[in-house]
Amino acid sequence: MDKVLVVGSLNMDFAVYMDRRPQAGETVMARSMKLVPGGKGANQAYALGKLGANTAMIGAVGTDTFGQQMLRNLEQVSVNTDGIKKIAGVETGKAFIEIENSGQNSISVIAGANAAVDEKMVLEQEERFSQTDAVVMQLEIPVPAVIAAAKLAKAHGKTVVLDPAPARKDLPDELWAQVDITKPNETELALLTGLPTGTEEEVVTAAQALIAKGVKHVLVTLGGDGTLLVSAEQVEKFPAYKVKAVDTTAAGDCFLAAFMSRFTGENFAEAIDFGAKASAIAVTRQGAQTSIPTVEEVQNFQ
């Protein structure tokens, strides 16, 4: 897709690195902490920009230092930030991330300005929808805004992409009916559908439940086990690349952005492979946007 519009969240990540995450009531000593620009929407916009896509974003930040830093970071990779509102008196969104030695993490999010993204804010940006090829959304902003964005994108004949995270059970059918591509992992897929996803066969069945709601293509990311592409006509599995993960933060965001940066509407195999390579590189690095590779790094990845 030559032009991609991202509608979503911007968070400043407080990333804490430790041997293991604490259990309930336990105190664990951490090794270090980093402030890293994040938020699923901003991560995907940043990765799209860095990987060469003509990218714009709609969202909201506060007028605080974190908001200014988030915007500067996106602009460094040529993302158009004119659609990101700066709201006085509201804090920029924040995420608190605990990362173990294995690279696995736990994340708590304070929505802040992200909660102010509403239908009105989306509809005010209709011209941006008319000028793009695809619209990418997530669920860290209010669902009514996501539905409005999906409907507006569909009305303009654009490809509608939903990263359904953080996953929730109550997404309405009117949203699913607008979606061309959705990218859950197996845990998110189970929550979205209420169906088990413990085996590959169960993953396919759960993905087909989304197809029945109107979704055209479901990309289920399975971590080290690769990616399953499920549509009404096909089920196909694509391999992952084996690496030693140090931080899985934003790996899914990197995958989706890299996929979209190469997707023409038909070349699923090529775009999925590019996404798999990009996310394999990202998990070997710390942080969200700081982990995103360049086009050259992805092309040279073995």
User: Per DSSP, which regions of the chain are E strands?
Assistant: 3-7, 11-18, 30-38, 54-62, 80-87, 93-99, 105-110, 134-137, 159-162, 181-182, 217-221, 227-231, 235-238
Place of tokens 């959705």: 182
* Residue of 64, 247, 253, 273 marked catalytic: 253
Sign of the CA dihedral running 108, 112, 118, 121: negative
SS3 230: strand
Joined together, the tokens standing for residue 108 give 């708590």
Active-site annotation holds for 64: no
SS3 15: strand
Cis bond upstream, residue 166 (ω within 30): yes
Spatial neighbors of 231 by CB under 8 A, at least 6 apart, are 211, 216, 217, 218
Crossing angle for the helix pair 65-75 and 40-50, nearest 10 degrees?
30
The CA distance from 48 to 84, in Å, is 16
DSSP 95-129: EEEEE-TTS-EEEEEE-GGGGG--HHHHHTTHHHH
SS3 83: strand
Catalytic residues: 253
